[in-house]
């Protein structure tokens, strides 16, 4: 097969591993910078111009679209879909996952466990907003934040109201979520490929840090998921419409609570922690789908 990996940097761990996994299985992998693609639309059909030529002959695409370029990145993925190329992650799934509020709405509709969440149109009644999320402490998250950036823990009612008022004054869109104390600064990342959890790790925030992101100095260890945690991760990925997803969950007294569903989850942390060939699983997923087309 001829596989396109949409990535802005061929030297990133995830990109290199996908190239390696595809090559080992006898496939031809090409790294394409989606921001340098020209999208052409006309009556005879869609086309993509890149690097002085038109892209053709591709059997599959693996999108690695950064959050900051979601709009253009998904447009390129959608163009490949219009050209009848199998995309390992759909453009619709990427859009759903990147809109945190929309993602939570979809998960809520499916009855998936979530931290209690409140979103308003810059309501002046910030006291009620905080109380609706369960009262302080609460977590405030910028809708466009990634890797723990734009996430604030307000430990008491006054702090929560002050932070929310500040965000509202800046016209910054935020969601307010309950703080799950029993999670103890840890969360679970379940990596889902084709409706199956192929790897899972527990991430622990560094001392004094409630955010468990590895980018922020957190640590990770392999974990055996419960049946409920495994089922929740699979259901969340399916609800958002992702064939490949990193599902982040908290362990709570009332069961697993989904924080986020990632459409371009990094491979480095999960592979090094679990020692699993996750990149290989992604290529196998593509082989399965392209072969039946």
292 or 252: which leads in pLDDT: 252
Q: What is the pLDDT of residue 184?
A: 85
Q: What is the pLDDT of residue 204?
A: 86
Q: Is 281 a member of any domain?
A: no
Q: Does pLDDT of 293 surpass 60?
A: no
Let me know: does 258 contact 251? Beta carbons within 8 Å. no
Same domain, 204 and 106: yes
- List the one residue out of 38, 22, 40 whose CA is nearest residue 30: 22
Question: What residues make up the domain containing 73?
Answer: 2-89
| pLDDT tens digits, one per residue of 120-155 | 888 888 899 999 998 889 999 888 755 556 788 888
Same domain, 139 and 8: no
Same domain, 102 and 61: no
Alpha carbon 21 to its chain centroid, in Å, reads 21
Same domain, 188 and 241: yes
Q: Does pLDDT of 206 surpass 80?
A: no
Alpha carbon 232 to its chain centroid, in Å, reads 15
Same domain, 31 and 167: no
Same domain, 19 and 157: no
Range in 14-18, 139-143, 230-234, 277-281 with the lowest mean pLDDT: 139-143
**pLDDT-derived band of residue 292, with 50, 70 and 90 as boundaries?**
very low
Cα atoms in the 13 Å half-sphere on the side-chain side of 214:
17
Same domain, 104 and 188: yes
Give the domain CATH number at 243.
3.30.470.20
Last residue of a domain, one of 89, 105, 131: 89
Query: Please, what is the Cα angle at 155 between 232 and 121, to 5 degrees?
Result: 70
Please state the rounded mean pLDDT for residues 243-254.
Answer: 96
- Structural domain count of the chain: 3
Q: What is the pLDDT of residue 149?
A: 66
Handedness of CA 124, 127, 128, 134 (dihedral sign): positive
Please state the rounded mean pLDDT for residues 265-276.
Answer: 95
Q: Does pLDDT of 288 surpass 90?
A: yes
Same domain, 214 and 104: yes
| pLDDT tens digits, one per residue of 145-190 | 555 567 888 889 899 899 998 888 888 888 999 999 888 888 999 9
| pLDDT tens digits, one per residue of 213-222 | 555 557 889 9
Burial of 122 (0-12, 13-18, 19+ CB in 10 A): middle
Structure pTM? 0.89
Please state the rounded mean pLDDT for residues 1-28.
Answer: 97
Tokens representing residue 237 in the block: 């990925």
Start-to-end C-alpha separation, the chain: 13
Q: Is 154 a member of any domain?
A: yes
Q: Is 48 a member of any domain?
A: yes
Give the domain CATH number at 17.
3.40.50.20
Instruction: Give the mean pLDDT of the chain.
Output: 91
pLDDT over 70 percentage in the chain: 93
Enumerate residues 6+ apart whose C-beta is below 8 A from 73: 6, 34, 35, 63, 65, 66, 94
Q: Is 249 a member of any domain?
A: yes
Same domain, 31 and 143: no
| pLDDT tens digits, one per residue of 48-94 | 999 999 999 999 999 999 988 999 999 999 999 999 999 999 999 99
- List the one residue out of 39, 69, 73, 75 whose CA is nearest residue 55: 39
């Amino acid at each position: 097969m001829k596989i396109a990996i949409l990535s802005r940097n061929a030297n990133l761990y995830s990109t290199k591993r996908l190239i390696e996994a595809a090559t080992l299985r006898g496939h031809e992998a090409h790294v394409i910078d989606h921001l340098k693609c020209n999208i052409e639309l006309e009556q005879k059909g869609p086309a993509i111009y890149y690097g002085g030529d038109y892209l053709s002959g591709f059997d599959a695409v693996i999108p690695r679209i950064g959050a900051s370029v979601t709009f253009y990145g998904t447009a390129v993925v959608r163009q490949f879909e219009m050209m009848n190329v199998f995309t390992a992650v759909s453009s619709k799934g990427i859009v759903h996952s990147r809109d945190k509020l929309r993602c939570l709405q979809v998960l809520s509709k499916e009855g998936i466990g979530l931290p209690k969440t409140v979103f308003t149109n810059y309501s002046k009644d910030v006291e009620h907003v905080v109380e609706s999320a369960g009262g302080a402490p609460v977590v405030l998250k910028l809708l466009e934040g990634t890797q723990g950036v734009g996430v604030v823990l307000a430990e008491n009612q006054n702090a929560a109201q002050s932070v929310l008022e500040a965000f509202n004054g800046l016209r910054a869109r935020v969601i307010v979520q309950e703080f799950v104390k029993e999670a103890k600064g840890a969360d679970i990342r379940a990596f889902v490929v084709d409706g199956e959890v192929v790897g899972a790790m527990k991430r622990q925030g560094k001392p004094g840090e409630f955010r468990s992101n590895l980018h922020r100095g957190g640590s990770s260890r392999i974990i055996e998921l419960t049946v409920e945690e495994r089922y929740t991760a699979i259901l969340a990925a399916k609800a958002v419409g992702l064939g490949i997803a990193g599902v982040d969950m908290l362990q709570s007294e009332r069961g697993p609570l989904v924080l986020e569903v990632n459409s371009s989850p990094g491979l480095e942390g999960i592979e090094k922690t679990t020692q699993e060939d996750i990149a290989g699983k992604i290529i196998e997923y593509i082989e399965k789908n392209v072969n039946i087309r």
